[in-house]
Structure 1
Amino acid sequence: MATVGFVGAGKIGGRMVERLLAAGHRVRLYARRPEVRDRLAALGAENVERPRDLAGCDVVVSCLYSDEQVLDVLPGLVADLGPATVLVSHTTGRVETLSRLAERCPAGDAAFVDAAFSGTAADVAAGRLTVFLGGRAEHVATAAGVVGAYADPVVTTGALGSALRVKLLNNLIFAAITQVTLRGLEAGRAMGIEESAVLEALSVGSGGSAAARHIAAHGGSGPYIDAVRPFLRKDLAACRDFAAALGIDLSALLAAACDGPLGLGDAGLLEKGAVR
């Protein structure tokens, strides 16, 4: 089994570490919070003091929240990476972040795989997280052998950066569908129908969706909006930058994603696919 380095053992990343250990991988972990270090060490993880201490692992998995965290935590590690080490990044962010990070690779030929995912901590715990993998075929094959401990399905999307593009489009479409679903729940309340009844109907009806299932799982519109808003705002900002960099007009999709109860942005400020 591969020796796996891990950075970013938060709510979702921590579950990934648990699954990797259960699958028999040796896991070396960089975590800042003592309670995380202690909990995962009790399960068999080996704690290290610095991210760059993971450079000799077969695979390094990063599950950091944002581009800012990636550029803060990983440069020292990347500078020390061996030529055989594959870095797998689960962060949903800007495509160019991995390119900036690759500039720190001493070999000048970074073995990077972008591994954006769709799902929750519960999906990780059940081994059914959806993971998209982008990169060179040999690097993707190595990554798939590791993330398979917590992911099914694993979808290969193409070259490095393609998984992030697929995930951003997925989240953009998801946000738009969520806005429509929330508006539907508002309409139901106006008709005197309990939100729970509408969600139950959507769970078996043709108007149902992953958005409706997630709203129900969070206990209704209010808790769901509070939980998902910061993540979708981050992803829409990345979509904005992606569209601007490539000159792609995503204005119709962004308008649909921004207009509604989620409060993700002002559709009136959209210009050539960008949320200003």
Structure 2
Amino acid sequence: MQKIAFLGLGRMGAPMARRLLGAGHPLTVWNRTAAKAAPLAAEGASAADSPAGAVRDADVVITMLTGPEALAAVADAAAPALRPRTHWIDMSTVGPAAVQGLAARLGPEVTLVDAPVMGSTDRAGTGGLRILAGGGADGVAEVLGRLGEVVRTGPPGTGAALKLVLNAAAVGGVALVAESLRLADALGLDDTLARGALADGPLAGAVARSFAEGAHFGTALAVKDLALATGTARLPALQAVLEQYRTAGVPDADISAAAAQIRTGSNV
């Protein structure tokens, strides 16, 4: 089986890496905070002390990092140690410009796949993610298939681009649900009635995500994704949504906590 180096063991990365380990892949892991690698090391993975040490013998490198700056730093550290014909799968949400930057750092002898995911922590360890794969994914189809349903999006960068579009819609929808319920509160409507009516309408998915339990998409990550989106095109409505999340005051909490702040107006 392909030897995998997994870099980034946060709330999403750790369960994804654990799933690949459970499938029998030889796995080396690295995380900036080394203690986060300890549980996987106890289960049979090898823990590296640097990105270069992690990727040195890898057939496949997977990155699941917080943003473009973290990805660039890890790539700069790891690239000199890569073997020719290595596949690098970036599953972070970083936008197409960062994917282009990563390709330049890795060079032509490395096959880059941008494969960000839809789905939260509740799906990361069960193979239930939706993977938006841009670029030449044929050589890593089995690895990606272990993690979820693979949607081929086209040439390199298109997976990252589609992820921005979908995240903007999802995060924006949650904020709209919060403000709609704030309006319902102001009008004196019963909460169960208002929430149920919204759940039966076009915002059904956003209503479900606004009150989701067992999922985690940090508000700070939502801010990062919306900033990437609004920096790409003129998006006045999403710019307003971005400011709502920025002022929610709960950067480490799930976006449902930010929605609660938006609903009550306590973030204003």
* Partner Cα separation in structure 1 for residue 24 and residue 198 of structure 2: 40
How many Å apart are 1:265 and its aligned residue?
A: 7.1
Q: Which whole-Å deviations, capped at 9, do the CAs of 1:32-67 have from their partners, x for residues lacking one? A: 334322211111111112211213211110001111
Query: Contact (CA 8 Å) 1:176, 1:257: kept in 2 or not?
Result: yes
Q: For 1:151-162, what aligned pairs fall within 5 Å after superposition?
A: 151=148, 153-162=149-158
Give the stretch that moved more between structures: 12-21 or 209-218: 209-218
How many Å apart are 1:195 and its aligned residue?
A: 4.0
Query: Contact (CA 8 Å) 2:174, 2:209: kept in 1 or not?
Result: no
Q: Which residue of 2 aligns with 1:73?
A: 74
Query: Contact (CA 8 Å) 2:85, 2:110: kept in 1 or not?
Result: no
Percent identity between the aligned chains?
A: 27
TM-score w.r.t. structure 2 length?
A: 0.82
Change (3 A) 1:262 1:96: closer
Structure 2: which 5+ runs fail to align?
248-268
* Partner Cα separation in structure 2 for residue 55 and residue 194 of structure 1: 60
Q: Which residue of 1 aligns with 2:95?
A: 94
How many Å apart are 1:200 and its aligned residue?
A: 4.5
Q: Which residue of 2 aligns with 1:237?
A: 227
How many Å apart are 1:193 and its aligned residue?
A: 3.8
Change (3 A) 1:194 1:74: farther
Q: Which residue of 2 aligns with 1:178?
A: 174
* Partner Cα separation in structure 1 for residue 195 and residue 170 of structure 2: 17
Q: Which residue of 1 aligns with 2:17?
A: 17
Give the stretch that moved more between structures: 187-196 or 108-117: 187-196
How many Å apart are 1:184 and its aligned residue?
A: 1.4
Q: How many residues align?
A: 245
Structure 1: which 5+ runs fail to align?
244-250, 267-276
Q: Which whole-Å deviations, capped at 9, do the CAs of 1:160-189 have from their partners, x for residues lacking one? A: 000011011112222332232112111222
* Partner Cα separation in structure 2 for residue 236 and residue 141 of structure 1: 31
Q: Which whole-Å deviations, capped at 9, do the CAs of 1:214-271 have from their partners, x for residues lacking one? A: 211159xxxx9xx65322221122123333xxxxxxx3xx2222335961479xxxxx
* Partner Cα separation in structure 2 for residue 23 and residue 13 of structure 1: 16
Q: Which whole-Å deviations, capped at 9, do the CAs of 1:70-127 have from their partners, x for residues lacking one? A: 111221312222222100001111322232233333x534310101111111111222
Q: Which residue of 1 aligns with 2:42?
A: 42
Of the three residues 143, 165, 175, the one matched with 1:146 is 143
RMSD: 2.5
Q: For 1:47-66, what aligned pairs fall within 5 Å after superposition?
A: 47-53=47-53, 54-66=55-67
Query: Contact (CA 8 Å) 1:259, 1:265: kept in 2 or not?
Result: no
